[in-house]
Amino acid sequence: MEAKTAVDESTIHAEVVVLGGGPGGYTAAFRAADLGKQVVLIERYPVLGGVCLNVGCIPSKALLHMAQVIHELDDFEKHGISYGKPTFDIDKIRSWKESVSKGLNDGLARLVKQRKVTLLQGVGQFTSSNSIEVKSDTEIKTVTFDQAIIAAGSTPTKIPSFPHDDPRLWDSTDALELKTIPKKLLIVGGGIIGLEMATVYHALGSEISVVELMEQIIPGCDNDLVTPLYRHIKKQYKNIWLNTKVTGIEAHKKGLQVSFDRASSQLAGGIHSIPGDKGKDDAPASETYDAVLVAVGRRPNGKKISAELAGINVDDAGFINVDKQQRTNVPHIFAIGDIVGNPMLAHKAVHEGKVAAEVAAGHKSAFDALTIPSVAYTDPEVAWMGLTENQAAQQGIAYDKAVFPWAASGRSLSIGRKEGLTKIICEKDTGRVLGAGIVGTNAGELIGEAVLALEMGADAEDIGLTIHPHPTLSETFAFAAEMITGTITDLYIKK
C-alpha cells in the first residue's frame, strides 16, 4: 500500500513555471511541455493571450480591416460604385472585434489542455529564487519551481502630470474598447500604436490630430518609407504636428484642454515637409478635444514581480538583462519578450520563448535571429527589416540601394494605389541583402520574403532570378533587386 502523505494543496511544484500568458509566455509553456517538462503557466487574467491577443495586435487588426473596407468603398465612389455614407453600429462592431479575440482565447485554452499544462489564474510575484506566490480574488497559492521563465510583458507609458483618471484620456486599451467615437480626437505620439488607432477612428468619423515629439512619424524607420504614409494621412487628418510636445492636459467639462509647446516646432512639417505646405503645421497654444489617446511607448513590467526576492537584476527602466539563451543573472531563471528589451513585439517574444523553453529542457538553443521585422498596419502599411539606411550610414557600411516605385506595378495600379515603394539595401561588394523596407498595401505580409532572404544569405541576383508571380505586389521586391543588378526592364534607368 502506498504511504499517505499530507499534501499542502496551496503549494504546487513545477519543473518549469512560466510567469505571464501572452504570446511569449504561452509559447514558452507549450514548447517546454512538448519537450517533456511538467509546466505551470501563471496568468493574471481569466484568458490567455496577453496584450497582443486581447487588447493589442489582434483586436486592432480586426478594426483596421474594418477601416480598410470603409476606405476602399469610399475610394470606389469615383470609379462608379457607391453604397452611400456608412452607418456604424458601434455595439455590433465591438462584439465582432471581441469575437475575433475570443476565438483565439478558446483555441489557446484547448492547447493548454491538450498539452496538460497547469494553468493558474492570479497575479504572480517571486518570494524566493525557487518560489512564486500567486494571488487571485479567491485564493493564494505558492508555486515552487526548478526553472522559471518570466514573460510578464509591459504596460503603456503614462505621463505623470496628465489626468489619467479622466475617462476621456485613453491609453491603447481604452482606445480599443470602442466605447464612443469622439468627434475630435488627439493622438499624442506618432508611433505605431498612435497611427494605427488614428486609422481606425478616422474611418469611424473622428476628426484626428496627431502630435509627435520627433521630426518624423514612426521615428525608427527610414524617412523615405514613412513619407508616402505621411502624405496620405496628411490629406485625411485635421493636423499632424511634428517636433511638437504636449506640455499639459487639463480636464474641463467641455473636453480635455491640451497645451502644446510650439517653441520646438520651428521645423514644422519636419523632414516630410510637402512643398507649399509651409507654416501650416504649427500647433496652437492650446486646443480642446473630446478624447486624447496617449501612445508614447510602453514600459517593461520588471519592477512589478518582486524580482529582487529571487535575486534577479532589474535595471532602472524595468528591463531584465538576459544572455543569448534568455538566462537572467540567476541561471535557472529565464526572461523573454517586452520585459527583456526592445523592440516590444509579439513575434520577438515568441521566438525568445521557444529558446528559453528549449534551454530549460537541456537543448543548446540560442536567440540568433538576424532581424526582427517591424510593421505599422496603417494605410498604407509600412514594414521594414534588417539594416535601415540610417543605420547603414551611421555604421559606415558601404551599400547599394534601390527603391522600386509602385506606380510602375500593374498590381498596385489595379488596386487603385500607387504611392507604395519597395526598397532594398545590399552590401556593396557582395550584393547580399542587408535590409529592406516596404510601404504600401500589404507591406506587412510582403516583408516576410525580405526577412527570409536575409536569413538565407540571399543576394540581389538570387532575388531577381526568383520567378515571382505576375501581377503581384511581391514582384516589387524582385524588381528592386533587379535595379541593383541592373537587369530591370520594367523601369528605364539611365546608365
Please give the residue ranges that form the binding site for ligand NAD (CB under 6 A).
Answer: 188-194, 196, 211-214, 219, 245-246, 295-298, 343-345, 375-377
Q: How far apart are CA 230 and CA 242, in angstroms?
A: 11
- Our CB check for ligand NAD shows the closer of 171 and 358 to be 171
Minimum separation from the CB atom of position 137 to ligand NAD (A): 29
- Our CB check for ligand NAD shows the closer of 335 and 478 to be 335
Q: How far apart are CA 142 and CA 135, in angstroms?
A: 9
CA distances from 274 to 36, 228, 271, 277, 290 (A): 59, 11, 9, 5, 29
DSSP helix/strand/coil, 351: helix
The catalytic site residues sit at 470
Is the peptide bond preceding residue 471 cis, with omega within 30 degrees of 0?
Answer: yes
Minimum separation from the CB atom of position 157 to ligand NAD (A): 7
Q: How far apart are CA 56 and CA 49, in angstroms?
A: 10
Residue 73, all three cell numbers: 468603398
Among 190, 186, 155, 46, which residue's Cα sits nearest to residue 105? 46
- Our CB check for ligand NAD shows the closer of 126 and 162 to be 162
Say if residues 17 and 148 touch (Cβ distance below 8 Å).
yes
CA distances from 288 to 182, 243, 251 (A): 12, 20, 9
Minimum separation from the CB atom of position 194 to ligand NAD (A): 5
Say if residues 141 and 12 touch (Cβ distance below 8 Å).
yes
Say if residues 298 and 279 touch (Cβ distance below 8 Å).
no
- Our CB check for ligand NAD shows the closer of 212 and 358 to be 212
Neighbours of 332 (CB within 10 A): 15
- Our CB check for ligand NAD shows the closer of 60 and 476 to be 60
C-alpha triplet 322, 326, 330: angle, nearest 5°: 65
**H/E stretch holding 223:** helix 223-236
In the complex, residue closest to ligand NAD by CB: 191
- Our CB check for ligand NAD shows the closer of 53 and 361 to be 53
Minimum separation from the CB atom of position 236 to ligand NAD (A): 19
Minimum separation from the CB atom of position 372 to ligand NAD (A): 10
Phi (first) and psi of residue 402, to 5 degrees: -140, 145
Minimum separation from the CB atom of position 135 to ligand NAD (A): 27
**Residue 91 burial (C-beta neighbours within 10 Å; 0-12, 13-18, 19+):** exposed
Minimum separation from the CB atom of position 20 to ligand NAD (A): 16
- Our CB check for ligand NAD shows the closer of 16 and 346 to be 346
